[in-house]
Structure 1
Amino acid sequence: MSTYDVAIIGAGPGGLTAALYASRANLKVLLLDRGIYGGQLNNTAAVENYPGFDSILGPELGEKMYHSATQFGVEYQYGTVKQIVDQGLVKEIQTSDDTFTAKSVIIATGSEYKKLGIPGEQEYSGRGVSYCAVCDGAFFKNEDVLVIGGGDSAVEEGVYLTQLAKSVTIIHRRDQLRAQQILQKRAFANEKVNFIWNADVQKIIGNEQGVTGVQYRDKVSNEIKVASGSGVFIYVGIQPNTQELSNLNITDAAGWITTNDHMETTVPGIFAVGDVRKKDLRQITTAVGDGGIAGQEVFNYLQTLTD
């Protein structure tokens, strides 16, 4: 079993960029992913905020990134990582089927938006249902949109959407928001923002063209009601894909990996990039930036092992 210079776990934009930089530095690179390369790009209908493209389908951008990243000899493997064992100068990556060894590891496993798990959510995903206002808000210019949630993300992204949408209605299951007071103040002061309180959202409704609104139960009157809107932005939480990495002790209490500006974790030789990191903005562009840094920093780290 040969030892790789670096094993990159996750083939989204961050992992693919790290693979490109590391392989161009003539390193022996293993790229592992549990599914098809591209990550969340495969769930994105259109990307309009990535430099170089006015608009491009998410899967198409993922395909282009993959071919670019693997042109210098990257070895791509399917595998669900179960554990990474730090053995000092060598890291052991255990998957459901195989075990690999590498001198360094870049973790690019990303994060997932928590789902409501209601009828219509999956059916209209990419057709009116979104989990990212920055990504998809521009598709709803001068339209009425709905935001589900009451925390910081829901309120902050709801206010962001007022720059584009005709109106924004925040639907919350309680009678008051959980967001920080400064965010609440901005929302209440914005004439484009409306609120529906004590709402138990039951289903997302629509037609062949896409979303038309949500059905909810008024928890006070027990009536079934409908809120109309062509877009539904869901903010009930986001979670990092780090469940299998707990033994490394590189995450905070919520599971996000903390790194320095060089993408280094607290374990020498283990780096992290993209949406799995603890940071404010999770976008394709920021993941690509992280990946470029990590790819170069891995090369620098490996040089120290031979000094």
Structure 2
Amino acid sequence: MYDVIIVGAGTAGLSAAIYAVRAGKSALVIEAASYGGQIINTPDIENYPGIAHISGFDFATGLYNQAKDLGAEVKFERVTEIADEGSIKRVRTSQGQYECKAVILATGAKNRPLGLPNEKELVGKGVSYCATCDGMFYRNRVVAVNGGGNTALEDAQFLSNYCSKVYLIHRRDKFRADEKEVERLKAKDNVEFVLNSTISKLNEDETGLVSIDVTDKNSGETRNIEVSGLFVAIGQSPDNIAFENVAELDEKGYIKAGEDMKTGTEGIFTAGDCRTKTVRQLTTAASDGATAALQACGYIDSLS
């Protein structure tokens, strides 16, 4: 029997574990893949207060080690179901089941695909969702990045250091990203902005991706751009369907919860990118984790 079980070992989940064990509670973190979440692929974090520069891997590893050193337990299993049995919550995984008094859902979100017919088949053959993971495979080659947020522009910036040319494709004429990032890219000679446009087709041969068709939303004209690689950065989607019996989801699949991190089920809390919120940043994930842990501790104390 654990006090708190935390589903997900990203920034929110590990922050929750740190705060839970510091409050004197036993905590189990269950993660399906590897610790750190998506931030682990970021080469340089420069927007976390108090830390001027750090790699995503080092940041995540620091969180992981801190949680473990404080006494949190971590298991790498996939959670398949959560049963609410009043004061007891039963968490079932691919390898067994665990009991606890409170659950914190910190499942994060996954990359959103373009939805084109042959996109899935081309993953690893020209299509990627992680520039820092796969960018070096395209050294001195032509690539494209699709998206308009900070992630897309950071990907384009990273790729511009290694690739001969980078096309940045965005469906609008203005970016959601920080203006600082936009101006930095505009100064790059090997970066070309393709605005008000969407990718309508992925063209391939026996080796993989060879070009993309890009359609201008205003004129309707389609342009063929030869590229060796396409990096998709058009947002994220949550994976919370397995928990809809204990946490209400919105139309996009995010867990409905306010700044108190409480779901509609007593003893079930949430934190991070998997919940309904406006801002999804590293700092807000850590904040969510701390809040969820303290709320869970308060709930557990109320049971006695």
TM-score, length basis structure 2: 0.76
Contact 1:146/1:231, CA 8 A, preserved across alignment: no
Quick one: distance in 1 between partners of 2:269 and 2:129?
Answer: 36
Secondary structure class of the residue paired with 1:67: helix
Contact 2:153/2:182, CA 8 A, preserved across alignment: no
Question: Which of 36-45 and 24-33 deviates more?
Answer: 36-45
Secondary structure class of the residue paired with 1:250: coil
Query: Could you tell me which of 213, 219, 226 is aligned with 1:217?
Result: 213
Runs of 4+ in structure 1 displaced over 6 angstroms? 219-224
Quick one: distance in 2 between partners of 1:260 and 1:99?
Answer: 29
Quick one: distance in 1 between partners of 2:150 and 2:15?
Answer: 22
User: What residue in structure 1 maps to residue 140 of structure 2?
Assistant: none
Quick one: distance in 2 between partners of 1:287 and 1:165?
Answer: 27
1:123/1:290 CA distance change after superposition, 3 Å: closer
Residues 30-179 of structure 1 mapped to structure 2, 5 A cutoff: 30-116=28-114, 117=119, 118=122, 119-122=125-128, 125-126=131-132, 127=135, 129=145, 133-135=149-151, 137=153, 140=157, 145-149=167-171, 156-157=175-176, 160=179, 162-166=182-186, 169-170=193-194
TM-score, length basis structure 1: 0.75
Contact 1:6/1:28, CA 8 A, preserved across alignment: yes
Secondary structure class of the residue paired with 1:103: strand
Secondary structure class of the residue paired with 1:5: strand
1:50/1:155 CA distance change after superposition, 3 Å: same
Unpaired runs of 5+ residues, structure 2, are 136-142, 161-165, 205-209
User: What residue in structure 2 maps to residue 200 of structure 1?
Assistant: 200
Secondary structure class of the residue paired with 1:11: coil
Quick one: distance in 1 between partners of 2:83 and 2:29?
Answer: 17
Secondary structure class of the residue paired with 2:95: coil
Secondary structure class of the residue paired with 2:60: helix
The AA in structure 1 aligned to 2:213 is R
**Cα deviation, residue 75, structure 1:** 1.1
1:221/1:22 CA distance change after superposition, 3 Å: closer
**Cα deviation, residue 136, structure 1:** 6.3
- CA distances 1:1-36 after superposition (whole Å, capped 9, x unpaired): xx1110000000000000000000110111110122
1:223/1:200 CA distance change after superposition, 3 Å: same
Secondary structure class of the residue paired with 2:19: helix
1:155/1:74 CA distance change after superposition, 3 Å: same
- CA distances 1:52-90 after superposition (whole Å, capped 9, x unpaired): 333222111111111112222111111100000111111
Secondary structure class of the residue paired with 1:82: strand
**Cα deviation, residue 222, structure 1:** 9.6
**Cα deviation, residue 125, structure 1:** 2.2
Quick one: distance in 1 between partners of 2:69 and 2:148?
Answer: 31
Quick one: distance in 2 between partners of 1:101 and 1:149?
Answer: 47
Question: Which of 289-298 and 12-21 deviates more?
Answer: 289-298
Aligned pairs, how many? 267
1:34/1:52 CA distance change after superposition, 3 Å: same
Question: Which of 255-264 and 18-27 deviates more?
Answer: 255-264
Quick one: distance in 1 between partners of 2:226 and 2:27?
Answer: 50
- CA distances 1:172-204 after superposition (whole Å, capped 9, x unpaired): xxxxxxxxxxxxxxxxxxxxxx4346x424269
User: What residue in structure 2 maps to residue 187 of structure 1?
Assistant: none
* Counterpart check, 1:248 vs 2:243: no
Quick one: distance in 2 between partners of 1:130 and 1:58?
Answer: 22
Secondary structure class of the residue paired with 2:63: helix
**Cα deviation, residue 122, structure 1:** 2.2
Secondary structure class of the residue paired with 1:83: strand
Question: Which of 114-123 and 7-16 deviates more?
Answer: 114-123
Quick one: distance in 1 between partners of 2:74 and 2:2?
Answer: 12
